Amino acid sequence: MSENDILEMESLSDPDEVDGDVAAGMVEETVVYPEEFLPTYHTITQGTRLTKTQQAEFNNKPDSLFFNDGVRRIDFILVYEDEDKKEYDKKYTSQRHKKRRQFFEASLMNMGLELEATKSVLDDKVIFVKVHMPWDVLCTYAEVLHIKLPIQPNDLSSRPSPWRFLSCITKHFYPNEDLISKESEFFTAPFEKDRLDYFYIKDRDLFFTPAMRSRMAFYILSRAPYEIRGNIKKFGITKLLGSGVYKAAYPLHDCRFNVRSRDEACPNERYLLYQEWAHPKSFYKMQPLDLIRKYYGEKIGIYFAWLGFYTYMLALAAFVGLCCFIYGYKTQETSTWSKEVCDPQIGGQIVMCPQCDKFCSYWRLNSTCEASKKLCIFDNFGTLVFAVFMSIWVTLFLEFWKRYQAELEYEWDTVEFLEQEEPPRPEYEAKCIYERKNSVTGVKEKMPYTKCGRCVRVSIGIGTVLFWILLIVASIVGVMVYRLAVFFAFSTSLRTQDLKQLEPIKEYVTPQMATSVTASLINFVVIMILNMLYERVAIWITDFELPRTKTDYENSLTLKMFLFQFVNYYSSCFYIAFAKGKAVSYPGNPVYIGHYRNEECDPGGCLFELTTQLSIIMGGKAIWNNIQEVLLPWLKNLILRHCARGNRENTIPRWEQDYRLQPFSSLGLFYEYLEMVIQFGFVTLFVASFPLAPVLALVNNLFEIRVDAWKILTQFRRIVPEKAKDIGAWQPILQGITILAVATNAMIIAFTSDMIPRLVYYWSFSVYPYGDHTNNTMQGYINSSLSVFDTSDFKDFSRPIDSYNITTCRYRDFRYPPGHPRQYEHNVYYWHVIAAKMAFIIVVEHIVYLTKFILSYVIPDVPYAVKEQIKREKYLTQVILHETNLKLVTKRLKPEDDGDPVTHTEDNGSNEELDF
């Protein structure tokens, strides 16, 4: 059929819908419509008409997964609105959509797919196109995608569980084996169509799982052309969905999630997953990972495997962190320095210098009594032990995860899933207009850009990322200015008029606490707003860079998004931990940022403020994510069900029930990983200031697993299965966080907490007595940690309006007192503390890094048993798949009449026997 015949056919079908520009541009080779195209497309647009008997039989099987003939399985669903029954403001758009859809569906049929359509039960304008892949097409694309399929049952005996003697107890924590039976184990090999007899095929209809069929169908849909203009070919279902030609494209769930299908041929895997995985009553059970992988593919399976393993490992960290918190809570009343702060005879007699200029007043130290007690909960010697423990824990977590991941790679046949096997993205292939010689194969291949063009794209991407990171830094500076201004406002509003009012006005409210809480809330709102903005920017940059494969695309987007999120979420925490209160000088010579005086920490340090910041961001982030990921899809589906309340689900076909669910974003899993990795950063980077972080993360993750399971099973359409070997770019990101966590926790203990100065004071009685103590006690520490300032040395612009006839005040620092030859300079105690802090950081980092290196070396990434099974499978694959060639060679060399050795006779009469 020629190109002119195609255009003439389209003109006859609907003369008004021929696009002159498109027709004129179709001068290159185009997809040829099959001869039976017109009646088939006519059937699609008009809808499939069933007899009354057929309709009654169909209504009894709303969960049917087959064509109307009951034989051909539905592998994918396409949905569009019939333009002939819809009032369009722009007729040109309507014609263009219909023309592209005609071309696209004809392309699908040319590629071997079979199509059938039916009208919607709820809305006759909506048309559902069912897609079926015949056996030959399945075999072809299984070989193209290197899908590994069974060749022989696994004959290696599985290792007995070390906890088998507790099976009567542990079985209650696993899915019900009567419902979800254990998967049969097979040795597998990449499928080859020419060697079909050597694969383990019992039933052709069940040989390729529904997940495999959907994956292959989506591969074809992503590469079927829908328009050709000149030398530009446009193809892919993604573009058609984006332009509105189709409303949706998805594989089918096999049944309703809460009702078992009455169809005997239905495996009811969705129902089983809901009962044993997503249902709240199963929150204590282990996840059925094999069934998750079978139903949703390896990519979803590896995410839930990682999330489950991370939650499992968090249990140990949460237990130790909870013990550390309980220890701090029990000792807060007995802490010597906390009691000194609260003592009316000590803290009540110490008058502290104002923390802002002119309008701030003097205040007594015991006004921070409650804050000092709370600080003791988190700033104690148990925190030091816990920080070191967490540095080791993150190493064990990553090493044991690598081992577990290696086991899953073998069980799920992703050991040899190489990047070369992954096909290019349709968006990449569509723009391949340049030729370049492959340095490996020596064959010319098409590229979408030159080397120079690639450098330009990457440079623009890097520049844009840096610009947005600077924007985040600017927002943090804005929050810092807010903190300075609000602290000044709170301090002024709480200013008192007589000496009696120097006592705390309220037990729990101080200017520092009010400023910290409000600034943390504002910072959280800014973080959420910047997240939404940068998400679109990061996607645009990655699209502009045009990565070759989907893995490359996700890795590039992952790096950009995490770099942004890292700065966005953690910058305020780094500021409080390592910058706030570090450059304030002394009251007579304060440091200014613009017109505002730099803010100071509480007398007990900034650790409690860091704890407040972490708790607000972690809690707010968890609440916001649940609202965004769970509540909104649930409300949307509730509204749709309310609008269609006159129709019962048992009369609506399966494809229409799924259409009423929400589409799962192509980056949906990316956001799930990002949420957990950001949480992992909070748990590890700042755990020295917040021992309860692992506890909160554990509680959140126990809900997260079930909520994510409930969400994808009940609120979203079935996800297109994808292959994945591991967690991708998140693995090196996690490793980078673990390395950074050692340094941050050591620096928090050294510079943010008050632990090192206390230790120096505690052990200094015999070397250099800094206080009044004569033995290893903390008595007198508060007095020794506060320097003295003569109020007459205030400058005129910073002198408090209300002086109360106070001659001296105290401030947090280690400086010589007024009247000393070196007044207001750092004293010897300060330099001893600095030396102790640096020594602590160096010693702790080296010890922890050495321990991490030893553990990573001692613990192999792949278990020995898995290595043996991989070798065994490779050996059997070679034997089985190459056996046919050996037999053919042997048969060709042996005589057909007998099995005697072949004899070659030479001219000289000598005989030589060759045994084969």
* DSSP string covering 49-83: ---HHHHHHHHT-TT--B-TTSSSBP-EEEEEE-G
pLDDT at 837 over 70: yes
For residues 145-174, average pLDDT = 72
For residues 544-551, average pLDDT = 77
Banded pLDDT at 881 (limits 50, 70, 90): low
Top-confidence range, 41-45, 47-51, 95-99, 624-628: 95-99
497, two tokens:
């008029």
Top-confidence range, 79-88, 500-509, 683-692: 683-692
3-state secondary structure of 727: coil
pLDDT at 768 over 60: no
Banded pLDDT at 75 (limits 50, 70, 90): very high
The answer to whether the beta carbons of residues 379 and 329 sit under 8 Å apart is no
| Distance in angstroms (rounded) separating the CA atoms of residues 726 and 720 | 18
Torsion of CA 313, 384, 676, 314, to 10 degrees: 20
Residue 223: how many other CB atoms lie within 10 Å: 17
Tokens 């755990």 belong to residue: 687
For residues 486-503, average pLDDT = 52
Entry field: residues in the chain: 916
- pLDDT (0 to 100) of residue 248: 92
Counting DSSP H helices and E strands in the chain, the numbers are 30, 20
- pLDDT (0 to 100) of residue 45: 39
Banded pLDDT at 500 (limits 50, 70, 90): very low
pLDDT at 890 over 80: no
Q: What is the mean pLDDT of the chain?
A: 77
| Distance in angstroms (rounded) separating the CA atoms of residues 515 and 647 | 55
Which alpha helices (DSSP H) does 686-827 contain, by range?
A: 693-710, 730-747, 755-762, 781-785
| Distance in angstroms (rounded) separating the CA atoms of residues 104 and 449 | 27
DSSP of 667-707: THHHHHHHHHHHHHHHHHHSTTT-TTHHHHHHHHHHHHHHH
Q: Please say whether the dihedral angle defined by the alpha carbons of residues 127, 132, 137 and 138, taken in this order, is positive or negative.
A: positive
The answer to whether the beta carbons of residues 837 and 751 sit under 8 Å apart is yes
Q: Is 878 exposed, middle or buried (0-12, 13-18, 19+ CB in 10 A)?
A: exposed
The contacts of residue 591 (CB under 8 Å, 6+ apart) are: 583, 584, 585, 597, 598
| Distance in angstroms (rounded) separating the CA atoms of residues 79 and 101 | 11
For residues 473-489, average pLDDT = 71
Banded pLDDT at 283 (limits 50, 70, 90): confident
The contacts of residue 894 (CB under 8 Å, 6+ apart) are: 902, 916
The answer to whether the beta carbons of residues 473 and 460 sit under 8 Å apart is no
Residue 273: how many other CB atoms lie within 10 Å: 25
- pLDDT (0 to 100) of residue 217: 94
- Residue scoring higher pLDDT (343 or 531): 343
The answer to whether the beta carbons of residues 253 and 654 sit under 8 Å apart is yes
Backbone dihedral region for residue 546 (phi beyond 0: left; psi -120 to 50: alpha; all else: beta): left
For residues 396-407, average pLDDT = 91
Torsion of CA 200, 201, 202, 206, to 10 degrees: 120
Backbone dihedral region for residue 260 (phi beyond 0: left; psi -120 to 50: alpha; all else: beta): beta
Percent of the chain past pLDDT 70, that is, above it, reads: 76
- pLDDT (0 to 100) of residue 709: 92
pLDDT at 37 over 60: no
Q: Residue 234: in which H helix or E strand, if any?
A: strand 232-235
Give the CA distances from residue 76 to residues 217, 251, 293, in Å, rounded to whole numbers and listed in that order. Answer: 7, 4, 19
- Residue scoring higher pLDDT (845 or 427): 845
Top-confidence range, 74-78, 170-174, 429-433: 74-78
- 436 forms beta bridges with 445
Percent of the chain past pLDDT 90, that is, above it, reads: 15
- Residue 109 exposure: Cα atoms within 13 Å on the Cβ side: 21
For residues 843-865, average pLDDT = 87
pLDDT at 7 over 60: no
Banded pLDDT at 780 (limits 50, 70, 90): confident
What does the pLDDT look like over 126-137, one tens digit per residue?
Answer: 899 999 999 999
- 668 forms beta bridges with none
pLDDT at 218 over 90: yes
- pLDDT (0 to 100) of residue 430: 65
Q: Residue 437: in which H helix or E strand, if any?
A: strand 434-437
Q: Which of 86-100, 689-703, 731-745 has the lowest mean pLDDT?
A: 86-100
Q: Which of 368-382, 500-514, 678-692 has the lowest mean pLDDT?
A: 500-514
Which alpha helices (DSSP H) does 347-380 contain, by range?
A: 369-378
For residues 234-250, average pLDDT = 87
Helix orientation angle between 298-331 and 381-411, rounded to the nearest 10 degrees? 170
Closest CA to 266 of 542, 492, 70, 445: 70
| Distance in angstroms (rounded) separating the CA atoms of residues 850 and 742 | 12
Closest CA to 150 of 191, 180, 182: 191
The answer to whether the beta carbons of residues 102 and 41 sit under 8 Å apart is yes
| Distance in angstroms (rounded) separating the CA atoms of residues 735 and 677 | 11
453, two tokens:
């063009």
Q: What is the largest CA-CA distance in the chain?
A: 132
Closest CA to 598 of 709, 701, 481, 703: 481
- pLDDT (0 to 100) of residue 17: 34
Q: Is 792 exposed, middle or buried (0-12, 13-18, 19+ CB in 10 A)?
A: exposed
The answer to whether the beta carbons of residues 307 and 705 sit under 8 Å apart is yes
What does the pLDDT look like over 621-660, one tens digit per residue?
Answer: 778 777 777 777 777 777 766 665 545 555 788 898 899 8
DSSP state of 602: B
CA 670 centroid distance within chain: 5
Tokens 């799962």 belong to residue: 664
849, two tokens:
């890094």
DSSP state of 281: G
777, two tokens:
């006690």
- pLDDT (0 to 100) of residue 74: 92
Closest CA to 250 of 278, 215, 285: 215
Q: Which of 106-115, 390-399, 631-640, 893-902 has the lowest mean pLDDT?
A: 893-902
3-state secondary structure of 804: coil
- pLDDT (0 to 100) of residue 757: 86
Closest CA to 538 of 551, 553, 549, 528: 553
For residues 154-168, average pLDDT = 63
| Distance in angstroms (rounded) separating the CA atoms of residues 112 and 133 | 7
Give the CA distances from residue 872 to residues 146, 153, 415, 862, 876, in Å, rounded to whole numbers and listed in that order. Answer: 20, 12, 13, 15, 6
Closest CA to 213 of 133, 267, 143, 115: 133
The contacts of residue 43 (CB under 8 Å, 6+ apart) are: 116, 117
pLDDT at 681 over 70: yes
| Distance in angstroms (rounded) separating the CA atoms of residues 659 and 639 | 14
The answer to whether the beta carbons of residues 872 and 156 sit under 8 Å apart is yes
353, two tokens:
């210098």
For residues 227-252, average pLDDT = 84
- Residue scoring higher pLDDT (225 or 166): 225
For the chain, the straight-line distance linking the first and the last C-alpha, in angstroms and rounded, comes to 55
Closest CA to 237 of 554, 663, 574: 663
pLDDT at 24 over 50: no
Give the CA distances from residue 153 to residues 186, 292, 441, 621, 884, in Å, rounded to whole numbers and listed in that order. Answer: 4, 22, 37, 47, 19
